[in-house]
Amino acid sequence: MSRLSLIERRLRLGTGLVLAIYIVIHLSNHSLGLVSLEAMETMRKLVTPFWRSWFGGLLLYGSLLTHFGLALTSLYRRSTLRMPAWELAQLVLGLSIVPLLAGHIAATWGARVLMGYDINYEYLLSGILSNDWVLARQGLLLLVAWSHVVLGLHFFLRLFRWYSGWKLHFYPVVVLMPLLVVLSMARIGIELEIWQQDDNTPVSADPDQSQFNFPDYSFDQIEKFGFDKPANEILHDGILISFYGLLLLTLLARIFRDKV
């Protein structure tokens, strides 16, 4: 293995582990909805300062871009697109994350950075749970991202001798993590609907979210509150155009390379 290939392999592993850690923490936070919205918010406020710091942001977004770039580089360098089923699954799952994630990034990162709003769990989940398309997209994102993480960790950990004797113990975690998140979202959905039916008041009493507390609050219009829709749509479209453009350029470069 060349020195460059070794560096790329270590970068892929390192960035993959960073993203896996982020996803595990993120999903663990979501699963706290089985306890309460307050528990979700408490953990969110504990973990987000790190990821929003210059170091955490550089680590997270740098890992995301590097991991994606290495995937495209690997795709370009392959002599053939024929590959083992597990490798194909890992590649397809990984590439599927970006278009599924674009809307979520636009609604959260976009609202915070472009508009200055720190959207809390009450409002974020209300927007997701009141829109069937967004709910389906987020559910698919959960399955795709978690499957990508599990496959990646499996083929990394199998390099260690101890893993063969311990891998059965990881199966409950593999199954329970997404299941707990789904159950958590279902519980929160019931709770939010009950609040609207019984109290007819905004979900959040947090003064930091006072710009959302309209007297004529409507559960199915939550996504409109506080968002500059054009800015979010531009960000969303920009992510998709960049992703599909880079993927298309990679495939075209392969075709051109093979003909030269």
Cβ 71 vs Cβ 91: under 8 Å: yes
Residue 252 tokens, joined? 């075209």
Domains contained in the chain, number: 1
| Contact yes or no for 105/235 (Cβ under 8 A) | yes
- The pLDDT score that the predictor gives to residue 229 is 56
222: which 2 tokens?
């939550």
What CATH number does residue 96 fall under?
A: 1.20.1300
User: How much is the pLDDT for 223?
Assistant: 44
73 vs 141: CA distance, rounded Å = 24
Q: Who contacts 184 (Cβ-Cβ below 8 Å, separation ≥6)?
A: 30, 31, 32, 33, 34
Let me know: does 24 contact 13? Beta carbons within 8 Å.
no
Range of the domain at 120: 3-259
For residue 257, the model assigns a pLDDT of: 84
Whole-number pLDDT of residue 260: 65
DSSP string, the chain: --HHHHHHHHHHHHHHHHHHHHHHHHHHHHHGGGT-HHHHHHHHHHHHHHHHSHHHHHHHHHHHHHHHHHHHHHHHH-S-S---HHHHHHHHHHHHHHHHHHHHHHHHHHHHHHH-----HHHHHHHHHT-HHHHHHHHHHHHHHHHHHHHHHHHHHTTSTTHHHHHHHHHHHHHHHHHHHHHHHHHHHHHHHHHHHHT-S-S---GGGGGG--TT--GGGGGGTT--HHHHHHHHHHHHHHHHHHHHHHHHHHHHHHH-
pLDDT computed for residue 164 by the predictor: 86
Which segments in the chain show pLDDT lower than 70?
1, 115, 194-230, 260
| pLDDT of the residue at 1 | 60
pTM of the model: 0.83
Per residue in 177-197, pLDDT (tens digit) is 999 999 999 998 888 775 455
- What pLDDT score was predicted for residue 122? 82
DSSP per-residue codes, 162-194:
THHHHHHHHHHHHHHHHHHHHHHHHHHHHHHHH
Q: Report the 10 Å Cβ neighbour count for 187.
A: 15
Q: What is the pLDDT of residue 211?
A: 38
